[in-house]
Chains A and B, each alone.
Chain A
Amino acid sequence: MVRKEKFTPLQILALTLFAIYALLPLWWVIVTIFKDNGQLFSTFGLWFGNKSYLSENLNTLFTRQDGIFTRWAVNSIVYAGTTALGSVVVSAMAGYAFSAYEFKGKDALFGLILATIMVPSTALVLPLFLMMQKMGLLNTYWAVILPGLVNPFGLYLMRLFWDAGFPKDLMEAARIDGAGEWTIFQRLGLPLVRGGLVTVGLFAFVAAWNNFFLPLVAVSREDLFPLTLGLSVWNQTSSSSGQEPIYTVIVLGSLISILPLVLAFLTLGRYWQGGLANGAVKG
């Protein structure tokens, strides 16, 4: 039962102001995708110009460099999708192991894994680069996907979810009934931590979708770029000398590039909220 709140006018005013503040950049983005580069600099930023250039912008976006934008979008989906899925599997299994089993050095190992959250990712770039070079993985999809599968924060979250959502009595009972360890994990356990899986998956998806530094270092072929890197390259070229600037096209590309994230949050947000609250209360 949701209680109906009565807001004072002052609160409404404050909330409205904040909403405007939060939505203004998005409004600017929407207005901008209707402009060409000339209008971008010569017309008022928060209102439309006298002529719409949306179709021209769309056309440029999808045909520039033989339509490489589509390729980048596909790459982003592959990178983020695979990373999210793989990271959910790894985190769920490892989190389960830490939650359900007792083994020697468990606390020390868990502490070590938590500690790696603190290592800034920039510090890992050089060793990562060298490892991938040795394994011949540079300029492959794996170079971007593999490092993302190792997700200590996801593991930590999943352990919390297992601790809170999967009673050890249930596991004992299942064992007595003769269920194997894999069946217990997969059939009995996983459905109980669905919120956790979605949460970790979403986190991993967003992180991989927005990842910039890793693909920057790991891939040097434009057909392997994700959207983040590709758009940033366009942005750089746009501001470099003598180039026809295509800022409004880049804004349009950026808007399109966040649509999957918006979609993911709208469809999976329900699980996510519940999951977070779970973790917060019971963790």
Chain B
Amino acid sequence: MKKPQLKTALLSLSALLFAGSALAADPAFPKAPAGKVTLEVWSWVPGLDKTVAAFEKAYPNIDVKVTNLGGGPQTYTKLLTTLKAGTGAPDVAQVEYGFVPSFVDTGGLADLSTLGANNYKKYFVPWTWGQVSPDGKAVFAIPQDTGPFAMVYRDDVLKKYGIAAPKTWAEYEKAAATMYTKSGGKVKMGNFYATFAPWFMALAWADGGQFFKRDGDSWVQTLNNPSAKKVLNYWYGMIKKGHVGTIQAFTADYWNAAGAGQVASNFEAAWGPGGYAGSMKDKGAGLWRAANIPQWTASNTVKSGNWGGSSSVVTAQSKNKQAALLFSLWLNLSETAISQNWTNGGLFPASDAGLDFAILKDKTKNPSKFFGGQDISSVYATASRGVNVNFQWAPWFPFANDNFNKQMDLMLKGKLTPNQALDAWQRETLAEAKKQGYTAR
């Protein structure tokens, strides 16, 4: 157990040194192939077609063709079809972390460790590498963007009720009760997203919760792990008292309530604030702030979880894997690409040095502008560096994702206790995993 710790320490030290040197140059990328090469890239990163122009300028003999399929299930269906068919796949494709294992299982992804990808591990925030290289040897993707968790809150509302931004969950619970009493139940301190499993999982992730683990050829699934139970019971207690709401995320109802100051705080991934600014526009503009998520025990080190984010995979079919790896590394480590991806699409980088780029902290632009000019990217950078490294997904996660909504619905209707809901989630999802042919327990 000593060794990995030392490694991590060295890693973060090198990351620190790297970040410290002013105007750090991009890492040395692998050599470009000699001949003329065309790379096909499937990605929904906004403005990527313009970003690749800079790449093509730096590597004139590599021609990159970008296809934007918008992401989501349809993109995966298409990618899966080509991987199963053994032909027609792009060289590089964008895949969200949670879906990487199911593509690994098709055997259609290249193991990038054979091409020297592990040499670049040190440039990424540690937990992101855990997402693309679960066993620490084979590397199935290059981390791209991330969604570490922070707390967002309405500064004006908290001040109105005389509440300081809570630093622990105990303080948060107390704040929720105070706000409920003082506002006559009109203003809720928080909101539980009952239809987004990854939101809930991120909160448990911050507590060290583990949901899936590959064990040789089989899997261990623990959806009802102690952290999950602790987190869900905590929230259910506040929900039952009416201290927090259960408005669905990304709905007009939610934006209206949040815009009107009826939801005083929430827990959002690094890409969330951009959505707040875009969806609420002038309502509540400048009144929001971001802070570290509350901790279970008061501490100076911040532990957080993650919701969302994606990676660049190289397919086994690619005829130019070396160039594809080069492009994936450049796309996610070069200052040019990270800056453009942030400006065009609000992609919060997986690159450790990228977290400190000045462009992320521009106070005159959203999301920081919507957050009263606060440098919220620094809050999210702290969060990202505090995300637990060991966290795995399973190929059948899409089923778990849907089944979660069913169990939460039953729980909110009072038909299941939080523990029963999580046990049912575990049981039904495990049965499905076995039905899909996985050896899981």
Contact = CB atoms under 8 A, between A and B. Distances in A.
Contact of B42 (A217, A220, A244): A220
Contacts of B82: 129
A216 B77 contact: yes
Contact of A242 (B42, B74, B78, B274): B274
B107 interface: no
A241 B88 contact: no
Given A130-B87, A216-B74, A245 B278 contact: yes
Contacts of A235: 70
A96 to B, nearest CB: 36
A240 interface: yes
A130 B85 contact: yes
B74 A232 contact: yes
Interface in A35-50: 37-38, 40-42, 45
Interface size class of A (residues with CB under 8 A): 20 to 34
**Central interface residue in A222, A232, A233, by most chain B CB within 10 Å:** A233
**Central interface residue in A37, A217, A222, by most chain B CB within 10 Å:** A217
B278 A37 contact: yes
Contacts of A33: none
Nearest to B308: A241
A129 B85 contact: yes
Interface residues of B, number: 42
Contact of A241 (B87, B256, B259, B275): B275
Interface string B70-91: 1110110110011011011010
Nearest to B251: A41
Contacts of B75: 236
Nearest to B86: A130
Main SS of chain A's interface residues?
Answer: helix
A221 interface: yes
A140 interface: no
A245 B345 contact: no
Given A129-B82, A220-B42, A41 B279 contact: yes
Interface string B54-83: 000000000000011111101101100110
A236 B345 CA distance: 13
A236 B76 CA distance: 13
A37 B275 CA distance: 12
Contact of A236 (B42, B44, B147, B275): B44
Given A42-B259, A138-B88, A244 B81 contact: no
A239 B71 CA distance: 10
Contacts of A256: none
Given A42-B255, A216-B74, A222-B67, A239 B345 contact: no
A129 B88 contact: yes
B283 interface: yes
Nearest to A241: B271
A233 B70 contact: yes
Contacts of A38: 279, 281-282
A133 B90 contact: no
A41 B308 contact: no
Contacts of B279: 37-38, 41, 245
13 contacts: A41-B255, A126-B85, A221-B67, A236-B70, A236-B74, A237-B44, A239-B250, A240-B70, A240-B345, A241-B145, A241-B272, A241-B275, A241-B345
Counting from the closest, the 5 A-B pairs by CB-CB distance are A242-B346, A236-B70, A241-B271, A233-B70, A242-B274
Given A216-B69, A242-B347, 12 more contacts: A42-B283, A45-B252, A220-B40, A220-B42, A221-B67, A222-B68, A233-B69, A237-B68, A241-B308, A242-B346, A244-B278, A245-B279
